[in-house]
Structure 1
Amino acid sequence: MGKIVVLHPDLGIGGAERLVVDVALALQKEGHDVQFVTAHHDSNHCFAETKDGSFRVTVVGDWLPRSIYGRFHAVFAYLRMMYAAMYLVFFSGIKPDLVFCDQVSACIPILRYRGLKVVFYCHFPDQLLSYRDSRLKQMYRAPLDWLEEVTTGMADKVLVNSKFTASVFKATFKRLAKVTPDVLYPSVNTDLFEGSATRRLNEVIEDPAFLVDNAFLFLSINRYERKKNLSLVLRAFADLRTILDEDKWSNVFLIMAGGYDNRVKENVEHFTELVCLAVRLGVSEKVKFFKSPSDSVKLSLLYHSHCLVYTPANEHFGIVPLEAMHAKKPVIAVNSGGPTETVVDGVTGFLCEPEPDKFAEAMSKFVSNKPLVKRMGLQGRDWVMEKFSFLSFSKQLQKIVMEFLKSDDSND
């Protein structure tokens, strides 16, 4: 087996971080020696596996700023990742057989300079995540976009998280016409779900209104970012009040949980915006907000809820719908991007246009039909275990890694 380094910019809590942790777990189970090198790791804001001793985690370059007066985030993200790569290559003493890196490709030339094998996981082209609202911003982004494209093409293997992202990759990186990324779907870490005890709902939520026997709980899990369109679920929830009769509406509640980092201005601002929106819509007493719930709390919320509402449009993949289906919960999601590959419309949930009335209509179907909730939940569990199991993910990843290790052996 080989020595593998996972190089990641920030081991926090999010879909990208969950994926790299799962990569590390899968490779470790196959017998590889796996460790992390990262520019930031906060033990109070990370997944348990990165702080409980499961892996060695080396933090380097965290003294570098993330921005200057809230600007130049991309430049400093590139610099921090490049600094971490230089440490790995020139000063760490680690001699990996393979480096798995993601999100920031600018570090790849440094890794390739020393002849290291590199697998790059492209969650989504970074240049498409940046707003170009001025000529000055366009000029600022131009060299960064060029650098992203060129350095991505220097990886030995490029992976993407969905067929949707693969199509966007091809349409965006015109210079990389000869690069065909492989799709490696993220998976549900079934060991975490099946090996963790869920807490009783009254240990997670103190409000007695949420704890009545006939309460119907909708759940939203996403980072507190505007691009996640979380206001959609609040507006749909408010519209639901006009569809249901008073008795049913009185027992319906919404739980919103998501990644929250007080260092990130948008997280702080958007959380406040959502709380204020719930007040304006007149539903604040029926909505509970959670900031960066622990794995234990998150699993408990999934277990006790009845339906997941997932609102991002053109989401690159979206691991949360898989987690919900694994927990036997139907999913209501936007009819675009990754969820069109993970949610089977009319079978494991509903895919809707991103409009409050459309979401409210789908939500009402579940409130009025508990057998439908159970049936779609069971079908969702079967679907996830068939197509997105951790075992399937591990086997595909192991095949990719072993191709590199065997090629090294043949060159010795």
Structure 2
Amino acid sequence: MVRERPLAVAFIHPDLGLGGAERLVVDAALELSARGHAVDMFTAHHDRRRCFEETLDGPFSVTVCGSWFPRSVCSRFTALCAYVRCILIAIYVAWGAWRRRRQYDVIFVDQVSAVIPVLHLLTRSKVLFYCHFPDLLLVQRRSRLRSLYRAPLNRIEEVSTGCADRLLVNSNFTNETFVRTFRRLVKRDVLPGVLHPAVRVPSQTDLERVAERWREHFPADLAHFLEGGPVFLSVNRFERKKGLDLAVRALGVLLTQQVDAHREVASCRLAVAGGYDERLQENREVLAELKVLVATLGLTDRVRFLPSFSEHHREGLFHTARAVVYTPQNEHFGIVPLEAMAAARPVIACNSGGPRESVLHGATGFLCRPDPVAVAAAMAQLTVKAAAERMGRAARSHVLRNFTRGAFGQRLEKIVHEMVDGMSEI
């Protein structure tokens, strides 16, 4: 039996902004807090204007440390700087535990595994590492010099990942990638478990409240745009790897199609919302490139951009959307499809990566080839309102059965107790 004593759990996360990784660690902290555990979050960056609301007034503390060290040097060495910033956080956590003479039972680390050996050296805590995806696969090696720079970081990533007391990944897709990538760890039988992310599923009362009041949170012109015809919604960070241009191009194809009178193609539109950080050059460039693409395709009156939106905006956008178009390829898992389905909206996603584990093709949405014609064909089917509503109901039921935050929290609590109590997973 797992002992029901409360644990002290720390989270180390590099940048507590808006994104899938941030949503996961916040949900994990919320669930452990709700189960009576003492939770503290440590990060190198927390912008109170651009974060999840639970980090402002939630049941766990948020401490910023290591922020004095730069994020990059002349827009370079970002990964190395992230390693240093997170190591500074680890030192701060260890110092605080020594000063209070109270160790954390478990320290939850994600994204930057380099802190794990430091934590083992300076604390007696068990360390859980959640791998969203091997970082070494996310880097483009554009030159030999860059490859030389990355080589020691890649080795550090593999060695330090293997130092964790427990390893978790976010999907079967990531698990397969982990096995192919970290061959030395696999030879030592260092293998992760799979803990899918989850979402808070709004109640029917919540959905009705949003339906009544969503206009209050939008400017009049944007509310008019959202009510002007079937809205397809894209929610993602403004990064090139997210493939946001695919949604724009698919809308362009859709609007040229001749379809029967039962479909509302002529008035379709697209809302592109997502995480946007003015500090990040790529975010600025991608948004500018998308605006040029929209103008080039003659879609200026059919596309709206909403960078860095609030939770109220998110709820309103899901309510007004006919469906969500999720464009990343080989996404590690993807929390947005779950959020959309929880709000009873079908999802159109690329037929690769994590969405293949969350979206049921033909039942809760469509899994498509990553090209505008295929995505537009799926969008055309959902211009029939009754079909979209039927899929939306199935999508919500699917999430309620398989991806609730409560089930995620229950599994996570079991894992951290097993780590502390020396039990093996049942």
TM superposition score category, shorter chain reference: over 0.9
In the TM superposition, what is the alpha-carbon distance from 1:210 to its structure 2 partner? 2.2
From the superposition, tell whether residues 16 and 131 of structure 1 become closer, same or farther in structure 2 (CA, over 3 Å). same
Match for 1:401: what amino acid?
V
Q: TM-score, normalised by structure 2?
A: 0.92
Match for 2:247: what amino acid?
V
Sequence identity, in percent?
Answer: 48
310-319 or 37-46, larger mean C-alpha shift: 37-46
In the TM superposition, what is the alpha-carbon distance from 1:241 to its structure 2 partner? 1.0
Superposed CA deviations along residues 168-192 of structure 1, whole A, max 9, x for unmatched, are 0010011101111010000012369
Give, in whole Å, the separation in 2 of the partners of 1:10 and 1:246: 48
User: 1:169: which partner in 2?
Assistant: 178
User: 2:410: which partner in 1?
Assistant: 395
From the superposition, tell whether residues 392 and 53 of structure 1 become closer, same or farther in structure 2 (CA, over 3 Å). closer
Aligned mate of 1:190, from 192, 201, 209: 201
3-state SS in 2 of match to 1:332: strand
Q: Describe how 1:277-316 pairs up with structure 2 within 5 A.
A: 277-316=293-332
User: 2:354: which partner in 1?
Assistant: 338
From the superposition, tell whether residues 282 and 127 of structure 1 become closer, same or farther in structure 2 (CA, over 3 Å). same
Residue 357 in structure 1 maps to residue 373 in structure 2: yes
Match for 1:164: what amino acid?
F
User: 1:147: which partner in 2?
Assistant: 156
Aligned mate of 1:20, from 13, 21, 25: 25
Aligned mate of 1:62, from 61, 67, 83: 67
User: 1:100: which partner in 2?
Assistant: 108
49-58 or 288-297, larger mean C-alpha shift: 49-58
Contact 1:101 1:119 in 2 (8 A): yes
User: 2:146: which partner in 1?
Assistant: 137
Give, in whole Å, the separation in 2 of the partners of 1:192 and 1:132: 46
Contact 2:214 2:315 in 1 (8 A): no
Residue 375 in structure 1 maps to residue 380 in structure 2: no
3-state SS in 2 of match to 1:64: coil
Structure 1: give runs of 5+ residues left out of the alignment: none
From the superposition, tell whether residues 58 and 286 of structure 1 become closer, same or farther in structure 2 (CA, over 3 Å). same
Aligned mate of 2:117, from 96, 109, 120: 109
3-state SS in 1 of match to 2:415: helix
From the superposition, tell whether residues 81 and 68 of structure 1 become closer, same or farther in structure 2 (CA, over 3 Å). same
User: 1:4: which partner in 2?
Assistant: 9
Contact 1:201 1:304 in 2 (8 A): no
Residue 35 in structure 1 maps to residue 40 in structure 2: yes
From the superposition, tell whether residues 20 and 193 of structure 1 become closer, same or farther in structure 2 (CA, over 3 Å). farther
In the TM superposition, what is the alpha-carbon distance from 1:115 to its structure 2 partner? 2.4
Match for 1:287: what amino acid?
V
Give, in whole Å, the separation in 1 of the partners of 2:389 and 2:206: 23
Contact 1:162 1:184 in 2 (8 A): yes
In the TM superposition, what is the alpha-carbon distance from 1:370 to its structure 2 partner? 1.5
Contact 2:24 2:197 in 1 (8 A): yes
From the superposition, tell whether residues 54 and 218 of structure 1 become closer, same or farther in structure 2 (CA, over 3 Å). same
Match for 1:187: what amino acid?
A
In the TM superposition, what is the alpha-carbon distance from 1:154 to its structure 2 partner? 0.2
Residue 76 in structure 1 maps to residue 81 in structure 2: yes
Contact 2:338 2:399 in 1 (8 A): yes
Superposed CA deviations along residues 373-407 of structure 1, whole A, max 9, x for unmatched, are 01110110111111111121111101101112323
Structure 2: give runs of 5+ residues left out of the alignment: 1-5
87-96 or 72-81, larger mean C-alpha shift: 87-96
Match for 1:356: what amino acid?
P
3-state SS in 1 of match to 2:124: coil
From the superposition, tell whether residues 246 and 191 of structure 1 become closer, same or farther in structure 2 (CA, over 3 Å). closer
Contact 1:89 1:110 in 2 (8 A): no
Give, in whole Å, the separation in 1 of the partners of 2:327 and 2:58: 35
Give, in whole Å, the separation in 2 of the partners of 1:31 and 1:244: 58
Give, in whole Å, the separation in 2 of the partners of 1:253 and 1:205: 17
Q: TM-score, normalised by structure 1?
A: 0.95
Match for 2:109: what amino acid?
C
User: 2:290: which partner in 1?
Assistant: 274
Give, in whole Å, the separation in 1 of the partners of 2:113 and 2:360: 33
User: 2:242: which partner in 1?
Assistant: 228
Contact 2:255 2:268 in 1 (8 A): no
Aligned mate of 1:119, from 128, 153, 171: 128
From the superposition, tell whether residues 305 and 171 of structure 1 become closer, same or farther in structure 2 (CA, over 3 Å). same
